[in-house]
Structure 1
């Protein structure tokens, strides 16, 4: 299938989920929304309170009514909407200790209701990682716990609750970031264990999330030799296609973790990671936690256009392509 070359930039922009700096959308975001950009992601730097957040999302929708407004709001230690004072809702670890899935579902529903009222449509949560390594520097209390069955039932409850509140859930970090001593913001973690171990531990919460109807899954920048000995999960057709799509039968949106993270950017380049992720089967590219300038988004967009022009099989991943 082909697309007019003049339309490729618009199609490439549609798969990006960029962040930006400030509590109002900068001119470039507003302009891009009119030129094909389909989504933005919000962080604490964009949010003062619920009233301001609602005004911000309304401004975005004035430019594009169907824009996907994403946020990275886990509650607990990772909160964007209450970053100044700390989250008023328990995080995953506390919910796992209590181990009442009905409570977990209620907390997530309450959060989803608040986010939906403020105009948010996608939340990069829940964290579905099994915190099986006590030396993990990045997951820790973001996880429901170290027991796969417990994490699975609370992941499913969180998904049901958030989506009942009106916001799409995004289970992360597929296929599981719990058993590592390395933070993928800084280097490439390696997840050991054979396939039987992965099925019993890391994959159990993601199977539960899919069964609960999760609408999105975020990939992890993780090398998992039992699944693919060469490519990180975000860039692996075996993991995104064969495992997530075919075996787990996930039919929703596959979102990458931020492509500026060093686990992939240091090895494949900032734009190279984005292009490879699309080729592997990702639907949306998260960017802008750190690289939040227009030139960063343009660099990714232009790299995607160049890859398609050069014959890379990416067009099927672009909306309308």
Structure 2
């Protein structure tokens, strides 16, 4: 049965699609002309700034006011700099410094980079309050564990991005910071009282509700609020709490519907799209694995399952957002050393660095979250004549490493080191027999190796964080 063209256009107007590669396929441009709200860019779409600018210009041949979205958080989650690491520290570092002017300036600079690339919707900042040290998906993407600190910096980040003309999308409502599972892989549950939700997780969203152009829903279950559903499918979360109670009147964007927390919960991406729109979402991120056929299947499901009035409401908000992004703005000039200067201020040193000159650097192999993707990290790009080896802690020998180091001290570099017993055990063994310093580039925890001479915390693993750590240790090349 043929789909009514007007309803098809409305359904397309609620979707952010995606595609692989550095060039836009014909269907991706054609659908924009037929009403598609826009596309999300991922690392696979990015080679260099000039290429991204050419890509976004090509997309706008289909629709001049297309929403081109990206996850550019700075720190550990970067798409523009996924080949090198971000030149800016992320939220955990900015929260550690706790200078609102600095946070605003860093996000203004990120906004300027996005404007130059032709991107007008940043799926950032992350405003979750990271209260779980073992949170596998938020961690250093959060400004911290203090709700009021996170709220202050959330607002500064939103103001910085939007001063450059890039719409900010605060995420992940109503708060992903207490989870210990990844919503890409399953449906996490945050089983808390309404009082704790309101005092711990909601303050950052309340702080940006009147400013942010968009808020992203989380695929997390909060029984006291959402029942058995993820927040993305919850009218109580999206309409009653976010809109009515917090007063947010911008665009509600979903996290990627291909994620297990949504698609598996609904029985598929098209079904998830229907449930999200029905609950009150306006703009649906389909995900990274998108084809023309999938878009058409989602459109068909939306036309069949969502009332036209709800689609009209959603498209009106999305259209207003697109119009806002086309207003000309002047982005202030940014100091090229801003990111590094910020990262330097975030470094914290416990103990003494005096005995750690000319070391053997041992980097502990680290996995990555789906949100981060594979991005280079560590001290290697910044070392001046210093040897580095990378090891898997579970199969590494402390005796062999100390023998290889000889008279040199050892500096162990890791991310979220406390999370794996093998990491902790290796560092403790090295420290018991040798002069050892530790650099933690992930979310800091209370764990400290008993005999280490120094413990350096960077609050992130971006290119800027790595340089700042190398400088603090006196190892950086000029």
Separation (CA, whole Å) in 1 of partners of 2:124 and 2:117? 17
Separation (CA, whole Å) in 2 of partners of 1:108 and 1:121? 14
Which residue is equivalent to 1:188?
Answer: 187
Residue 136 (structure 1) aligned with residue 132 (structure 2): no
Could you report, residue by residue, the CA deviation over 1:99-157 in whole angstroms, capped at 9, with x for unpaired residues? 11110000000110111122111000000000001121111111111111111111111
Separation (CA, whole Å) in 1 of partners of 2:309 and 2:165? 34
Residue 262 (structure 1) aligned with residue 260 (structure 2): yes
Separation (CA, whole Å) in 1 of partners of 2:7 and 2:100? 45
Which residue is equivalent to 2:44?
Answer: 45
Separation (CA, whole Å) in 2 of partners of 1:165 and 1:95? 19
**1:171-320 mapped onto 2 (5 Å cutoff):** 171-211=170-210, 213-269=211-267, 270-289=269-288, 291-308=289-306, 314-319=310-315
| Aligned residues of 1:11 and 1:320 also touching (Cα < 8 A) | no
| Aligned residues of 1:281 and 1:317 also touching (Cα < 8 A) | no
Separation (CA, whole Å) in 1 of partners of 2:82 and 2:117? 16
Which residue is equivalent to 1:95?
Answer: 94
Separation (CA, whole Å) in 1 of partners of 2:225 and 2:311? 26
Q: Aligned-pair distance for 1:317?
A: 4.0
Aligned-residue Cα RMSD (Å) equals 1.6
3-state secondary structure, aligned to 1:319: helix
Separation (CA, whole Å) in 2 of partners of 1:87 and 1:170? 19
4+ runs deviating over 3 angstroms: 311-318
User: Structure 1 unaligned runs (5+)?
Assistant: none
Separation (CA, whole Å) in 1 of partners of 2:312 and 2:11? 11
Q: Aligned-pair distance for 1:54?
A: 1.0
3-state secondary structure, aligned to 1:172: strand
Residue 72 (structure 1) aligned with residue 71 (structure 2): yes
Separation (CA, whole Å) in 1 of partners of 2:19 and 2:150? 33
Sort the Cα spacing of 1:312 and 1:165 in 2 relative to 1 into closer, same or farther, 3 A: closer
Separation (CA, whole Å) in 2 of partners of 1:320 and 1:114? 28
| Aligned residues of 1:78 and 1:142 also touching (Cα < 8 A) | yes
Separation (CA, whole Å) in 2 of partners of 1:319 and 1:103? 35
3-state secondary structure, aligned to 1:255: strand
Separation (CA, whole Å) in 2 of partners of 1:316 and 1:127? 29
| Aligned residues of 1:278 and 1:317 also touching (Cα < 8 A) | no
| Aligned residues of 1:282 and 1:317 also touching (Cα < 8 A) | no
Separation (CA, whole Å) in 2 of partners of 1:147 and 1:227? 22
Which residue is equivalent to 2:33?
Answer: 34
Bigger radius of gyration, 1 or 2?
A: 2
Which residue is equivalent to 1:18?
Answer: 17
3-state secondary structure, aligned to 2:68: strand
Separation (CA, whole Å) in 2 of partners of 1:45 and 1:285? 20
Q: How many residues align?
A: 314
Which residue is equivalent to 1:125?
Answer: 124
**1:128-167 mapped onto 2 (5 Å cutoff):** 128-167=127-166
Could you report, residue by residue, the CA deviation over 1:50-94 in whole angstroms, capped at 9, with x for unpaired residues? 111111111111111111111111111000000000000010111
Q: TM-score, normalised by structure 1?
A: 0.94
Q: TM-score, normalised by structure 2?
A: 0.64
Separation (CA, whole Å) in 2 of partners of 1:38 and 1:134? 37
Separation (CA, whole Å) in 2 of partners of 1:320 and 1:53? 28
Q: Aligned-pair distance for 1:200?
A: 0.8
3-state secondary structure, aligned to 1:218: strand
Q: Aligned-pair distance for 1:250?
A: 0.3
